[in-house]
Chains A and B, each alone.
Chain A
Amino acid sequence: MYFILVSIGILLLGGLFSFLCDHRQNLSRALGVGGAVAGALVAAVPAVIVLFGGIVDPIRWPWSMPMGSFWLALDGLSALFMLPIAVLPALAAIYGGAYLRGFRGKASLGASWFFFNLLVASMVLLVSARNGVLFLLAWEVMSLASFFLVTMENDRPDVRQAGWTYLVATHIGTAFLLAMFFLLGGPNNSMDFDKFAAGGQGGVIFLLAIIGFGTKAGFIPLHTWLPEAHPAAPSHVSAVMSGIMIKTGIYGLVRTLVFLGAPAEWWGWVLVGIGVLSGVLGVLLALAQHDLKRLLAYHSVENIGIIALGLGLGVVGLARGNTALAVLGFAGGLLHVVNHAMFKGLLFLGAGAVVHATGTRQIDQLGGLLKKMPWTAATFLVGSAAISALPPLNGFVSEFLIYLGSFHAVASPTGGAAVPALVAIGGLALIGGLAAACFTKAFGVVFLGEPRSGLAANAHEVPAAMRTSMIALTACCVALGVLSPLVVPLLGPAVSSATGLPLETARQHLADIGRPLTWITGGAVILLVVLGGLALLRKRLLAGREVGQAGTWDCGYAAPTARMQYTASSFAQPLTDMFRLFLRTHRKGRQVEGLFPRDAQLVTHTPDIFHDGFFRPTFRGAGWLMERLRWLQHGRLQLYVLYIVLTLLVLLVWKLEPSLTAGR
């Protein structure tokens, strides 16, 4: 367990010295990146031990904080989250070292490394903490560190705006968490996790956790900070935030489910509902975006939805005593946490490479980048296929587990859980189709065809350090997919600690799906062999025959330009039109008129209906209410002191007067 402490120490020291050496750019960068990589790798060691069935001794020291002890431990659930927390930031740091060169002189890079390492350290602490106070401390440090990372380019108004939205959202979430932890810790008057008890208020605690942790995870409609904050942050930070930071919300939720013990069935229904809603609306909103990083941010909402779907099915399975469904649901959801960290990290790094090379995030300005940036394009293609859940990559494996659990629940003669399972099947199928549409759009328009602007035409491949990280993540995506028969059994400890089922039961059920997974890998082998055979065949056939080059055939039109290519907006238009009820896309511009139309234009903008339709009015209302309280606030110190004294007096009377507290 000392690994964790050492890891946190390395991370903090690396960050601190990087900050102190800010004036010496190279040293500062080396310290920041080195600290992040070394710290993360040290944290990975105990996680690997636990996942392979070993045990890591916990640390439990008396603590001067009230209610509990300084307690760190690593069970299967923590270890599963710890692994991506170790891998992704290490790779993102290597990437960031090169990426941040472009920001030299614009912002303090030392400070950026300080907050980056602080963010990683807080996440390491968060998943190993076994005390409510320690957990909340890590939670708050994580939120603040990521806030400062988001606002690195704070001279831009949109970045400041995004930062504020994020700060407000995360604190609303924390408020709910505080209430939840007090309810949990109340019965035994201790904040240690083993003393937590639901005290008959399981439902309330569950809902508080959904709101509190859901705000961080990005459940719709609590997701509105996500599409603002992710694009504003530097890309390696977006990768870490979207890849794993939002997953701490999922971790918290699953951990809360562990505290609550046997779940009620409606919790599962709530999670399935949230999952389908977040999944479908997330991918629809992503389809309508023109900003590459904003598109990816909405896809995080979608994938969080898929995770919630898996967890929800698992909870229904637990409540109904259907252990096969419980194990498959939780295993699918938790594996998707890891998988999403890999491919979403990869995609954000790829998007960062595009921004680095062209200076724009607008998809419709790009095009033809594959020829300029072959490595970025190839890795982005693998990431796109993985997030669209195409076999044999990792995204398919986790969705397969959720599908399989659903089909199990549908086909089992005892029935019961069939309805949520069917909702999951329909939802996943729709999400899968829409995600494929969205990523053919993103990859096709950004990397294929001809450059649509000078920015794209003058692009260049990114430095080796950035490429290395992307290639490593690509390898992870492929390995987690193809080696799934070996990977999935490792989920045993995590599923066991998440569901409360005995380790043997979890292992047994996971072994049962070993056969399908092996066959899927077999299918992948067939696919590759056939593909190789076809490639050889094509090569033989074309050898010695005439292979010509020509312009793209355009039905006889003589003067094509790159501007005539299909744009991302037009590509998504049939789908955004079909779902206009949920999207409310605004259109502006002159229509095409007459026989020889001139300068027509079309601008579309898809706002977030929850942001504009719910949060903005709510906050405007709150603002109005606060205005009414203005009279309390007039700047006279004496009166402020009077308020304090009055409050104290009231509290004193309330506490000392027995008749007021007698009812408690």
Chain B
Amino acid sequence: MTALLVNILLPLILAPLLPGIINRTKAVMAGRKGQPLFQLYYDLWKLLRKGAVYSRTTSWVFRAGPMVALAAVLTALVIVPLGGSSAPLHFAGDLILLAYLMGLARFFIVLAALDTGSAFEGMGASREVTFAALAEPAFLLGLAALAKLTGSLSLTDILGGLTWQIWSFGAPELAMVAAAVLIVFLTENSRIPVDDPNTHLELTMIHEVMVLDHSGPDFAFILYGSAMKMWILGAILVQIVLPGTGAVSPAHLGVSLAGMIGLAVLVGMVESVMARLRMVRVPQLLLTACAFSVLAIILVLRRS
């Protein structure tokens, strides 16, 4: 029961906090007053109580897109463990289901964008699928390295099997996987240096442009789904960098949550000091992530 609370309820409540922390960090770094920490909660509350406007071009696919995407991400959440406890749904190969549920969410967001017939949204959709196609191998190969390291096949066992001891003898491979997952995290969540979430009206954006036409509850679903996706990938990353002792403990949960906050602060700092990469350079970044994963695998394999 506590596992259910920790793994489901906590993310459901806390996920919208992450974008808030990122934005606060950016505001502090820039010396601005900035938006409140709970801005996304206010936004969601406001959007849920609003009506909606639909383009005459759109069809049921546009209306289904946000719902399917949010449902897929919420299902993925059931697979991700937190704080050493096992996830409600864990079985051999669940990480594959996780990756493809993310794919399902993306598939429908992209189709909803294409349904509007807008050239802008088509452009964003095109870039989204392009970068996702390169991020996926990096992610799965990185997890394969961890599977080899821990000798297990489910996300719960892999993340639970990582311990502090592994950092002492396997630091290089863990660091590589963490770097690869960090790049995937930034790409999938459309953060700098891949995408700039603040440039709503420029041709450089990816995720934000795809959802230009959504409004009301649909848009709330999308915002919440994005926050949840950030939580899921962030939780995996944090538990790689800050592994536990192999046992369930409130301390580990605390460390994980602190890690999530730290990650959000880190992202905010990266966004404050870095510029977005040119679009043509992004594939190279993702290839680097793949290279990190392959290197990690080579390093793990040499031990066997």
Contacts and interface: CB of A to CB of B under 8 A. Distances in A.
A142 B132 CA distance: 41
Interface string B87-121: 00101111011011101101100110011111111
Contact of A574 (B53, B118, B130): B130
B-side binding surface: helix, strand, loop or mixed? helix
Contacts of A391: 97, 100-101, 104
Contacts of B125: 440, 444, 566, 571
Given A436-B133, A553-B55, A555-B201, A566 B213 contact: no
B217 interface: yes
Given A400-B96, A541-B48, A548-B53, A429 B140 contact: yes
A531 B68 contact: yes
Interface stretch (A2-10, A193-201, A336-344, A410-418): A410-418
Given A530-B71, A531-B68, A574-B127, A396 B100 contact: yes
B217 A541 contact: yes
Interface stretch (B19-27, B148-156, B239-247): B148-156
B148 A426 contact: no
Contacts of B70: 530, 534
Contact of A430 (B58, B93, B99, B136): B136
Interface in A366-385: 367-368, 370-371, 381, 385
Nearest to A448: B115
A522 B94 CA distance: 12
A566 B126 contact: yes
A581 to B, nearest CB: 13
Interface in B276-304: 279, 283, 290, 294, 297, 301, 304
Contacts of A515: 91-92
A470 B33 CA distance: 58
A390 B104 contact: yes
B56 interface: yes
A-side binding surface: helix, strand, loop or mixed? helix
B123 interface: yes
B216 A519 contact: no
Contact of A547 (B54, B91, B93): B54
B130 A381 contact: no
B72 interface: yes
A419 B141 CA distance: 12
A537 interface: yes
A476 interface: no
Contact of A434 (B53, B115, B120, B133): B133
Nearest to A404: B93
B3 to A, nearest CB: 16
Interface residues of B, number: 83
A571 B100 contact: no
Interface string A523-544: 1001110110011011001100
A484 to B, nearest CB: 12
Given A436-B129, A541-B48, A562 B91 contact: no
B156 to A, nearest CB: 12
Contacts of A595: none
Contacts of A565: 117-119, 122
A538 B59 contact: no
B271 interface: no
Contact of B115 (A403, A410, A444, A538): A444
B129 A437 contact: yes
B301 A418 contact: yes
Contacts of A432: 100, 103, 136
> Chain A interface residue count: which class?
35 or more
A500 interface: no
Nearest to B283: A578
B144 A555 contact: no
A281 B201 CA distance: 35
Contacts of A426: 137, 140-141, 290, 294
A535 B217 CA distance: 11
B161 to A, nearest CB: 10
A367 to B, nearest CB: 7
A537 to B, nearest CB: 7
B118 A549 contact: no
Contacts of A541: 48-49, 216-217
Contacts of A513: 92
A142 to B, nearest CB: 35
B75 A530 contact: yes
A415 B147 CA distance: 12
A388 interface: yes
A573 interface: yes
A440 B129 CA distance: 8
B99 A429 contact: yes
A422 B297 contact: yes
A650 B49 CA distance: 94
B52 A547 contact: yes
A526 B130 contact: no
A537 B304 CA distance: 52
Contact of A554 (B49, B92, B118): B118
B231 interface: no
Interface string B234-277: 00000000000000000000000000000000000000000000
B50 interface: yes
A365 B218 CA distance: 30
B174 interface: no
B221 interface: yes
Given A415-B301, A549-B54, A570-B122, A407 B48 contact: no
Contact of B152 (A411, A545, A551, A571): A411
B2 interface: no
B120 to A, nearest CB: 6
Contacts of A445: 114
Contacts of B116: 449, 552
19 contacts: A370-B61, A407-B144, A411-B153, A418-B304, A428-B140, A429-B140, A430-B136, A436-B106, A437-B129, A444-B115, A445-B114, A448-B115, A516-B92, A530-B71, A549-B56, A552-B116, A572-B126, A574-B126, A575-B130
Closest 5 CB pairs of A and B: A566-B122, A433-B133, A444-B114, A449-B117, A437-B129
Given A385-B107, A410-B147, 4 more contacts: A367-B117, A439-B107, A550-B56, A553-B55
